Structure 1
Amino acid sequence: MEKSANIARMTSEHVVAVVPPNGFRVPKTAELVATNLRRQIVRGELSEGDSLPPEHLLTEQYQVSRPTLREAYRILESERLIEVRRGAKGGARVRLPSAEVAARHVGLMLQFGQTELSDVYAARSVLEMPAAALAAENATADGLGRLRSNLDEAEKTMSDPHADLSRLPVLSREFHSIVVEMSGNKTLALFDSMLGTILDIAGKNYVNVQPVARGIKANTAAYRAHRRLYELIETGNVDAADTLWRKHLEGVSESMTDLVPGSVIDLLS
């Protein structure tokens, strides 16, 4: 209630149009309203699930028409920052920014660019290579616990003859993601997460095109590398973790692009 009241107290002076230099487009009023609401969301002034005040209050405080306010809502809806529900119990509710949404946009841009899958794996390698050394420097009990849980599930899956092998590429991706998160670099983790959407599909395709025996062999090799990296991170062996991870990423990039060839558009279409 307090957050909604804070929004309701806003006046039109919060939406100030700055006259730009010649050659620049003047923002529409709806864009200015959307910018103000977006700023509150990303600053944490509004949280996931918070309701925006009723439309009549916002139109009064911003001194805009209802169609203008709804246009601002559509802008924020397209960015997946709010969800507007219709009906008696409807209204606009806040949704937090999501890496998955960003990943969809990145995937579309890669498709339009006719990007080869090998290009994506090469980019992933470049992004992730420094992560193991940073993780060994910044290891936490929580991060190590998540790595252990991942390895335990992977080991259990490989030892079960009736297990769904398509789970193994997912676990492998999760291990990589945890290592990147443990690096402590949020920008690195975000970009890695965006590429992960495409790589998850490639991993599933890898399972589908490989003989069972070959798939098990590849997954076993990945598991051993992951287990060894965990030990190096746990003991804080920065140099050895860095060397192992770089070698592992190079090998994965080469094998996956050979076994699951094609472009991103082939993969996602």
Structure 2
Amino acid sequence: MAELARVAQASDAPGGARVPVGKRVRVPKTAELVAGHLRKQIVRGELEPGDALASESELMGQFGISRPTLREAFRVLESESLITIRRGAHGGARVSAPDPDVAARYAGLVLEYRGATLRDVYQAAAIMEPPCVRQLAGQADAAVVARLREAVDAEKAALDDPLALVEAQDAFHALLVELTGNQTLVLLCSMLRYIVDRANSEHVAASADSEEHRAQALKGHRTHVRLVKLIEQNKAEEAEKLWHRHITSADDVVNAVGAKTVLELID
């Protein structure tokens, strides 16, 4: 019980802030407190992906809780994809790394609830990605340029394979954001790319054999090559404008086949 009391104390308001008199307070369930304690250990790196949690009996003793309460805590963490449960004699709970795809799927549900369309997602990408390009071009870092050249080389190697090419081109978009080093942007943009990548794949699957698609794919590749040159030449404003036009034109092409809701792409 001492461990559980410590967990409960850690969940109190910061700085000992008092709840206003008359305000109704929701008291967390014991399982939520236990899940919160384990969650913090995972996100702080105290428990790493692949690590096995202690046995149920050990955790029950540590927190002073019953088996049903512990399993309820496990269900909370499993729903967040922070642990996986293996059944059987050699089973147990193992830690998983927080998965951006889980956040993207949930964000997609929220967007669908709010009536968002695929065009909304592309417009958001057109707002977020070009400033990242401007930042990279402003730095003109040789290591960054080398990474980007590797990415466009991977695209070139896939020019005859439409599905492989769209994957390589989507990876190039993700790399532009990753290279900024801003983890908040990386997560937010990865949530958008999760949806956009599925839209691109669906578009390719429907039109991969057409000459029009091949022309669009080659045009996209040439734009990526040109962007890398602009970044290398430290032409930040020109690079940013080029990338904004590129995303906007991709939005027009994919949406030309009909408006898609977010939910249609994440099911």
Deviation digits for residues 15-74 of structure 1 (CA, Å, limit 9, x no counterpart):
225498432311001100111111111111111111111111111121111111111111
- Please name the residue that 2:31 is paired with: 30
Listed as ranges, the gaps of 5+ residues in structure 1 are: 1-9
- Please name the residue that 1:157 is paired with: 158
Deviation digits for residues 198-246 of structure 1 (CA, Å, limit 9, x no counterpart):
1112112222343621111111111111101111222333222222222
After TM superposition, the structure 1 stretch with the greater mean CA deviation from structure 2, 16-25 or 220-229, is 16-25
Does residue 214 of structure 1 match 2:215? no
- Please name the residue that 2:196 is paired with: 199
TM-score where L is the length of structure 1: 0.87
CA distance in 1, matches of 2:24, 2:108: 32
CA distance in 2, matches of 1:61, 1:140: 50
Please report how far the alpha carbon of residue 103 of structure 1 lies from its aligned counterpart in structure 2 after TM superposition: 1.1
- Please name the residue that 2:108 is paired with: 107
CA distance in 2, matches of 1:138, 1:13: 50
CA distance in 2, matches of 1:136, 1:87: 54
**1:72-221 correspondence to structure 2 within 5 Å:** 72-138=73-139, 140=141, 142-158=143-159, 163-210=160-207, 212-221=210-219
AA of the residue aligned to 1:186: Q
- Please name the residue that 1:3 is paired with: none
CA distance in 1, matches of 2:93, 2:265: 35
CA distance in 2, matches of 1:268, 1:101: 11
Q: Is the 8 A contact 2:35 2:74 kept in 1?
A: yes
TM-score where L is the length of structure 2: 0.87
Q: Is the 8 A contact 1:121 1:253 kept in 2?
A: yes
Give RMSD over aligned pairs. 2.1
CA distance in 1, matches of 2:59, 2:206: 55
Does residue 16 of structure 1 match 2:8? yes
Deviation digits for residues 94-140 of structure 1 (CA, Å, limit 9, x no counterpart):
11101111111112222333322111111111121211011223455
Task: Find the residue that maps to 2:27 and give its secondary structure.
Answer: coil
Structure 1 ranges of 4+ moved more than 4 A: 17-20, 138-142
CA distance in 2, matches of 1:92, 1:252: 43
Task: Find the residue that maps to 1:84 and give its secondary structure.
Answer: strand
Please report how far the alpha carbon of residue 142 of structure 1 lies from its aligned counterpart in structure 2 after TM superposition: 5.0
Alpha carbons of 1:91 and 1:232: their partners in 2 closer, same or farther (altered >3 Å)?
A: same
CA distance in 1, matches of 2:213, 2:184: 32
CA distance in 1, matches of 2:158, 2:179: 24
Does residue 265 of structure 1 match 2:263? yes
Alpha carbons of 1:63 and 1:140: their partners in 2 closer, same or farther (altered >3 Å)?
A: farther
CA distance in 1, matches of 2:140, 2:179: 6
- Please name the residue that 2:69 is paired with: 68
Please report how far the alpha carbon of residue 75 of structure 1 lies from its aligned counterpart in structure 2 after TM superposition: 0.6
- Please name the residue that 1:7 is paired with: none
Listed as ranges, the gaps of 5+ residues in structure 2 are: none
